[in-house]
Chains A and B, each alone.
Chain A
Amino acid sequence: MKMKNIFKSVLFFIGFLPSFLNAQSIEKNRLVLGLKYYNDNNLMQHLVVQAKSKIDGKFQKIENISVKVFINNEQDKKNLIGIGTTTARGELIVLVTPKAKTEWIKSATQNFIAVSATTKEFDEATGSTTITKAKLKIDTLEGKMVHAKLLVLSDTIWKPMPGVEMVLAVKRIGGNLNINETATYVTDTAGNINAEFKRDSLPGDSKGNLVLVANVIDNDVYGNLTAESTVPWGAKLIYMTNYNHRSLFARRGHSPYWLEFLAYGIILAVWVVIIYLLIQIKHIVKLGLD
């Protein structure tokens, strides 16, 4: 009786084993799609999709995820503004092209939706962001003063927007440097910010040009806005190169004269001796023939 029960249990376990294993194998991690809006110099708008998933207790960037990005409504194929695959950094950049114009001009507020395709590891995921159209302007005033203005679209009118935090900086290689000791500014009631540029000795390009930048970063309503302006406030960069100088560390054909004199002198001296000896062999041959 006891043996019969054990046999039954084993049969029962074997019968359910495939479905148990199958249930194990189809368990997938949840994919999270983040979507950020960027407006660069009021000329180019683009979106960045970020794919990530919590694996081994921490979020990791997920590459090779196919993503479709829509404007306002993901159900309508006409609203598709871009398709792509995430890079090794888990990112996909999609430009808001003139194709989206019909939807873009409909409203001051826009909704963007990103939808990922189902893969072996992840189910379909959706991410979205809603922004209100805004534009950022940057200009200069007398006495190295920087002026920035934020305007927001309200129905069909651009209105100044107070109380928005932004950064005023100057572009450098690898990042931006604040124009003075203040890290961030907030727009006043007229949507303006005025700040003094205090980086006097900063090297610019060959003409002394620097690029000023006004940045609204990761704003919940307006996204990421950037405005740039070139000003001749930097020190002129005089490009110094020793590429053509003769030195021990220079390129080929640019060794110091003393080294060339020494090396070629030694080589010449030794090879003159070798050639002389070869001529002596010729003399020996001649003497033998005589």
Chain B
Amino acid sequence: MDKLKENQIIEDLLPQKFGKLGKIWVASLMGVCALGAYAYGRQLYYGLEVTSMRDYVSWGIYISNFVFFVAISLVGSLITAVLRLTNVKWSTPLTRIAEIIAVSAITFASLIIIVDMGRPERFYNLFIHGRLQSPIIWDVIVITTYFFISLLLLYFPLLPDLKIMIGYKERNRRWLHQFYVFLGAHWKDKPAQFKITHKAINILAISIIPVAFSIHTVTSWLFATTYRPGWDSTNFGAYFISGAFLVGAGGVVVAMYVFRKHYKLQKYITYDHFDRMGKVLVMLALLYLYFNINEFLVPAFKMKKSEEEHLLGLFTGEFAPLFWFAIFTAMFIPIMILLFPKGRRPFPAFIAGLLVVVGSWFKRYLIVTPTLLHPFLPMHDVPASYHHYFPSWEEWSIALASLAGALLVITFFARIFPIIPIHETILETESHENEKHF
């Protein structure tokens, strides 16, 4: 490949400064984060009383948000690991998007758990007094492990790109250049270095799959190891993983569209990528639909007394509008859009991905909260507020701030690092041209 073309790729993919729209976007996210910080300050000062969580609903939108973050983080293993190991080449421009979504999501999953604690300064007790028998401890261990593996999977492929960015010293501010030097000055494009990196990425791709499966299976076990209606299921691990792959893939499609449009990456994130990701999304939506049918049809067929109130609450009762909204937006409508080739064009696919993400967030809420409102023993002599749950403004603010925080991490990452791997793109273009030539 000639130098001119290579330079063009580098020029296209190097991180770009925030434009006017980018600045507005960052300022808006920071505003939401500031509001969340204020709400969290109030929660620290007044205690969990400022939330709507009471004796029965002790897991509200914080835990729903946690499950959502854990779910979306699974995309790192899908795009990076599964597709890499199966030698799928078209996913190359998407790997870094998927990995940064995974890292930011898993970071905020950890933070939102601390937010859910009434006394966060006692967090260390989890390590001092934690029981190995408890799925909560398993979750802490596996989330920490997944975070480090995802970080390494982000770092290794970044090394050749860091060298490229160090070469463009004049484009960057001094501190940013020093940051690149700190991270990647040791990379000299030596074959031995490539060999180690290639090996490391393969090891990471293999090891991240069981860890990713564990992270979401263990999260599902937080619920499934209880006897409660709606949670007492042997299906929960697979149900959670399939849902996680779906929301993760949806998130990637949304990010693909936004980066493509904002950074003008039409040459690198093509219609073909949307087409393929659209097909993946349909397959995952159908898979998740299958698990949903298992999860709801079988208990509804038996309609055990303890399950009845919970299921009717979802199908026709208090939660029915939200339940059907989640089912339709997360599964039915995206399937209907993406089944057709026209639906797999960038904008319709973006809409479908957005629906999947929004529907999946509400789906997590429906997994966590309604069960808590249906205990085995009837609720007697409790205040009226105990019978229902609607998050307080503090909860909404904190939950939205955590989502905004995750988006900020992705935004800043894309500002500092190339969101599409430059070196890999050059190599693939080169090999593509060679294939053409021969």
Contacts and interface: CB of A to CB of B under 8 A. Distances in A.
B152 A260 contact: no
A250 B193 CA distance: 49
A285 B130 contact: no
A276 to B, nearest CB: 8
A283 B196 contact: yes
B163 to A, nearest CB: 9
A217 interface: no
Interface stretch (A30-38, A61-69, A267-275): A267-275
Contact of A277 (B133, B192, B204, B211): B204
B200 A280 contact: yes
- Give chain B's interface secondary structure class: helix
A255 B152 contact: no
Nearest to A249: B133
B198 to A, nearest CB: 11
Interface string A260-290: 1001000100110110111011011101110
Given A263-B138, A277-B203, A288-B185, A271 B193 contact: no
A252 B130 contact: yes
A245 interface: no
Contacts of A43: none
Given A250-B133, A255-B132, A255-B133, A267 B141 contact: yes
A284 B187 contact: yes
Contacts of B200: 277, 280
A278 to B, nearest CB: 8
Contacts of B204: 277
A251 B138 contact: no
Q: Which of A252, A267, A277, A280 has the most CB of B within 10 A?
A: A277
Interface in B128-175: 129-133, 138, 141, 145, 148-149, 152, 155-156, 159
B58 interface: no
A273 B207 contact: yes
Nearest to B184: A288
A221 interface: no
A238 interface: no
A244 to B, nearest CB: 15
Contacts of B211: 270
A255 B131 CA distance: 8
Interface residues of A, number: 26
Interface in A216-269: 248-252, 255-256, 259-260, 263, 267
Contacts of B138: 263
B197 interface: yes
A285 B131 contact: no
B186 A288 contact: yes
A287 to B, nearest CB: 5
Given A274-B148, A284-B197, A288-B193, A252 B186 contact: no
Contact of A284 (B141, B186, B203, B207): B186
A259 B192 contact: no
B190 interface: yes
Contacts of A250: 133
B119 interface: no
B203 A273 contact: yes
A160 B156 CA distance: 99
Interface in B205-253: 207, 211
A251 B185 contact: no
B342 interface: no
B133 A285 contact: no
A285 B132 contact: no
Contacts of A252: 129-132
B196 A280 contact: yes
Contacts of A285: 186
Q: Which of A256, A263, A273, A276 has the most CB of B within 10 A?
A: A273
A259 B133 contact: yes
A283 B207 CA distance: 20
B149 A289 contact: no
Contacts of B145: 267, 270-271, 274
B165 to A, nearest CB: 16
B411 to A, nearest CB: 27
B295 to A, nearest CB: 25
A289 B132 contact: no
Nearest to B153: A277
B304 interface: no
Contacts of A289: 186
A166 to B, nearest CB: 39
Contacts of A260: 132
Contacts of B203: 273, 276-277
Q: Which of A263, A267, A280, A289 has the most CB of B within 10 A?
A: A280
Contact of A248 (B133, B149, B185): B133
A16 B161 CA distance: 95
B192 A287 contact: yes
Contact of B152 (A249, A251, A277, A287): A277
24 contacts: A250-B133, A252-B129, A255-B132, A255-B133, A263-B132, A270-B149, A270-B207, A273-B203, A273-B207, A274-B145, A277-B200, A277-B203, A278-B152, A284-B159, A284-B186, A284-B187, A287-B188, A287-B192, A287-B193, A287-B196, A288-B185, A288-B186, A288-B187, A288-B193
Interface of B: 129-133, 138, 141, 145, 148-149, 152, 155-156, 159, 185-188, 190, 192-193, 196-197, 199-200, 203-204, 207, 211
Given A284-B193, A288-B188, 5 more contacts: A252-B129, A255-B132, A283-B196, A284-B187, A287-B196
Interface of A: 248-252, 255-256, 259-260, 263, 267, 270-271, 273-274, 276-278, 280-281, 283-285, 287-289
Q: Which 7 A-B pairs have the closest CB atoms?
A: A288-B186, A285-B186, A255-B132, A252-B131, A255-B133, A288-B188, A248-B133
